[in-house]
Amino acid sequence: MRLTSLELGAVVLTIAYIAFYTHPAPRHIVDFVSSPVGSVVTLLGVLYVTVKQSFVLGVFLAIAYVLTVQQVTEYLDPNEQNPKTPDIKELSKILESVKSPSMTKGTESKLPVTLPEPPASEKKGTPSTPPVSTIPVKATPPKQVEHFAPF
């Protein structure tokens, strides 16, 4: 796709606007684009340029419009800025309620383990095994600690 020199100049000017004037955008442009009428006029202009003039220039104008629109800020309640820290007593109660005997080091828990039944072809001449056996399972700490990169 070949661009005429006029289209190329308009794309360069749009790129310069995006690079230098959208962080933050000029106040008068933001005020115009923030109003419903200004937003409709701007979007219709971008649509006209995209359909009738140049698709490439329309794409760059759409990017410029998106970067110029009024920025959205997160709502932060002043009470949430300093959250209440729990007491040591509350934390110990929570830990005690969550702690189970299998979490302590060196304890063994006896879990019933069911073994699958062998197929009928393998059952010939082999003694039957009990369906449920109790095998002690020892809780062990993890062997390797994974360290993740801070992004």
Mind listing the pLDDT tens digit for each residue in 109-144? 555 556 666 666 655 555 555 555 566 666 677 677
Q: What's the pLDDT at 15?
A: 93
Q: What is the mean pLDDT of residues 39-61?
A: 94
Q: Please determine, for residue 145, whether its predicted confidence score (pLDDT) is greater than 60.
A: yes
Question: pLDDT confidence of 25, banded at 50, 70, 90?
Answer: confident
Q: What is the mean pLDDT of residues 4-15?
A: 92
Question: pLDDT confidence of 89, banded at 50, 70, 90?
Answer: confident
Q: Please determine, for residue 63, whether its predicted confidence score (pLDDT) is greater than 80.
A: yes
Q: What's the pLDDT at 100?
A: 62
- Identify residue 143 by its one-letter amino acid code: K
Kindly state the percentage of the chain with pLDDT values over 90. 27
Question: pLDDT confidence of 30, banded at 50, 70, 90?
Answer: confident
